[in-house]
A and B are shown apart, each in its own frame.
Chain A
Amino acid sequence: MTRDKEEKRRQALCINDHVDILLEILKRLDGRSLCTAACVCRLWRALATADSVWEHLCLRRIASPGSSVRPVVSALGGHRRLYMLCVRHLLTRLGRDPGSSSAWDELQLSLSLFCVDYYERLGGRFGDTAATSSLMFLCKPVNV
């Protein structure tokens, strides 16, 4: 009996021991789940708030984003912020009509709006986390 138990214990997988697997899983989550995952424990928080995971989320639907996107986005505030401010709103609002616009176009639009937001923040009037007024329209509920 005890041998069985011991074997079971040996075979039990603790995900926290296998960070690479955990990372792969996190990369495939959607935004909301990622945020929830960040609340689990410190390790998960560190992994789930890393920008690379969010980069995966933002660029998931893009076939070949090119190498220039990452430095620009990082400089403007990171992929997590990009997702929070722009991408998720575009996904929900434009998701209704999937055939009409390509993922790359949507990303371009997100990036443009993100850039405008950064520019507005340069004025120094806004706190770090709040969206500037130019992006307020994204927060308004849309008549679906």
Chain B
Amino acid sequence: MKKRDHQDSCSSSYGGDSGGPSSYGKAKVVWEDELDASGGMDELLAVLGYKVRSSDMADVALKLEQLEMVMGQEDGASLSQLQNDTVHYNPSDLSAWVQTMLSEVNAPLTDPAQSLQTDLDFSSLQNYVNAESKQTQLRFSDDSEYDLSAIPGLAAYPPRSPPPPPMQQPEPPPPMQQPEPPPPMQQPEPPRNKRLKTAIGSSSTNPNLPSSSSSSSTVIAAPESTRPVVLVDSQEAGVRLVHTLMACAEAVQQENLKLAEALVKHVGLLALSQAGAMRKVATCFAEALARRIYKIRPQDPLEATYNDILQMHFYETCPYLKFAHFTANQAILEAIGTTNRVHVIDFSLKQGMQWPALMQALALRPGGPPAFRLTGIGPPQPDNTDALQQVGWKLAQLAETIGVKFEFRGYVASSLADLDPAMLDLGSPEMETISVNSVFELHRLLACPGAIEKVLGCIKAMKPKIVTIVEQEASHNGPVFLDRFTESLHYYSSLFDSLEGSGLSPDSEDMMMSEVYLGRQICNVVACEGPDRLERHETLAQWRSRMGSSGFDPVHLGSNAFKQASMLLALFSGGDGYRVEENNGCLMLGWHTRPLIATSAWQLSPTVGNQ
């Protein structure tokens, strides 16, 4: 009896006629099934007092597992709230009970396994959610069928401006037995947030799309029985967002700029419905696409110092750069062995953050430290300050403190291709052990034809003992724009995901600067072409073949590097998400299953072909 009401309210209060023929239809079928097959209950459970249809068994089992998983993750507070608030009718009906429980639980929680929708800090999201719901209600004023606030009425929802528009479909007055989540009159904050959250999700769905959207509001009553019940709405909006981005990119590729323009605006709106990493990624990509469509000149190349600052914040937020530095240092340490003089040529000096750790390791080397010489290459500074010398001075101070003989020289070059080994004042290989280091610099040379070959030739002429290269593990240099776009979307989604996992508050300076840093890369990959497009990342396999054909042999990074990297990552909160992988002697750092950066080490091939 009561179950019938429950099903009824489920199908009628939700998306009603036009929106929900499928959900209503399904509910109806289920109901009829139950009426027909009174003997269809599973017998064993019936003995225990539970009525579950045999046909439903697998489904109920799956949902019970999900419920268990979800409940296991909740902290005590929301769990007890769950126990207090939910009204269950006919608890012998396991199927309905578990659906109601899952719908309760769905509203405040997100699916942690969802890669696009990252873990949300619920408490910090509250204000954000409140603000955002206002915004989305303003934008999606025709989403009245999802205007859930009409149901419990003004008691729970004091009027916001603009007041909710008149309903397009008359909502039936909710039957009193409706097993709603807690009567909102009594519980101000948490249920409100539950509803607000799904209000965002549902209002973001395109009202023009048909029946599938009816499943989006999960709060009022149990969702469709056939859907796997874990936060359907934001997931859907997220999927829709990605599809729209892809469609826009395709339109750009086909030079259909009118369509692209419309789509990119839509993306911008959809992006607002998301939260966290997905939102930021979508916004960055939307901006980049807009720049490409409107042919806005690429952003002014940043002053080198500003770029350094951005990278410093990125260094502090997440382990990628630290990983790069530590693994490269380990390779250098192992290569130089017991030599007395070391000369490192660093293509990516920036703030010199890589070298303190190496100098410390040299200082503690059994047998005493070698003399350490560093040549740093940097871009010209617009205000003529000698940034390189400042870095050199700091490093010299450190070296003196820990007792390492140190020498520094800085070279200014606007592009690495301008480098001439003769200028570098290199000692002969017998006198000093030379090593070349490049972190995220070589890929820029691919923008100029011939540049990379010139630089590799230059490196060979220096006769280094070891060359350490760290590059992004991504294929952002393909000839087809759409492929580049897709690749970079996945890559930067993972990267932003990992930023979220770092536990920093979203409005900390570090976090925002890191996002700007990555956002600029995205703009470069998507919006620029030709010599302006500097972020031409290539995969490890591509670099391998390039280095191999240029006369370099791979050097395997040892287990020490792997161990040190693993230890380093274990220190980071969110460290469980990071993965160190060994790939034929090279080390890759990734987020969950996606490798993001790769460190490799090279030496000159011993053959004569070093011309």
Contacts and interface: CB of A to CB of B under 8 A. Distances in A.
Same complex for A and B? Answer: yes
Interface of A: 66, 68-69, 71-72, 75-76, 89-90, 93-94, 97, 100-101, 105-106, 108-109, 111-116, 118-119, 122-123, 133-134, 136-138, 140-143
B563 interface: yes
Nearest to A142: B573
A75 B369 CA distance: 16
B338 to A, nearest CB: 15
Contacts of A97: 570
Contacts of A136: 316, 510
Among the interface residues A101, A111, A112, which one has the most CB atoms of the partner chain B within 10 A? A112
A106 B567 contact: yes
B304 interface: no
Given A118-B356, A141-B503, A76 B571 contact: no
Contacts, number: 106
Interface string B399-437: 001110000000000000000000000000000000000
Contacts of B575: 93, 142-143
B366 A115 contact: no
Tell me whether chain A's interface is mostly helix, strand or loop, or mixed: helix
Contacts of B566: 100-101
Contact of B360 (A72, A122, A123, A137): A72
Contacts of B504: 140
Interface of B: 315-317, 319, 326, 352-353, 356-357, 359-361, 363-364, 366, 368, 394-395, 397-398, 401-403, 502-504, 510, 560, 563-564, 566-568, 570-576
Given A72-B403, A115-B359, A133-B510, A66 B394 contact: no
B567 A72 contact: no
B563 A68 contact: no
27 contacts: A66-B366, A69-B364, A71-B403, A72-B363, A75-B403, A89-B571, A93-B571, A94-B571, A100-B563, A100-B567, A105-B560, A109-B564, A109-B567, A112-B326, A115-B359, A115-B360, A115-B398, A118-B398, A119-B352, A119-B353, A122-B398, A134-B353, A137-B316, A137-B317, A137-B571, A142-B571, A142-B572
Nearest to A133: B316
A90 B567 CA distance: 9
B64 to A, nearest CB: 26
A122 B560 CA distance: 29
Task: Please provide the 3 A-B residue pairs with the shortest distance between their CB atoms, ordered closest to farther.
Answer: A115-B360, A112-B357, A119-B356
Contacts of B397: 122
A137 B317 CA distance: 7
A136 B364 CA distance: 25
A115 B360 CA distance: 7
B364 A72 contact: yes
A71 B567 CA distance: 25
A116 B356 CA distance: 6
B402 A76 contact: yes
A85 to B, nearest CB: 12
A137 to B, nearest CB: 5
B401 A101 contact: no
Contacts of A140: 502-504, 572-573
A71 B394 CA distance: 20
B317 to A, nearest CB: 8
B499 to A, nearest CB: 12
B357 A115 contact: yes
Nearest to A92: B571
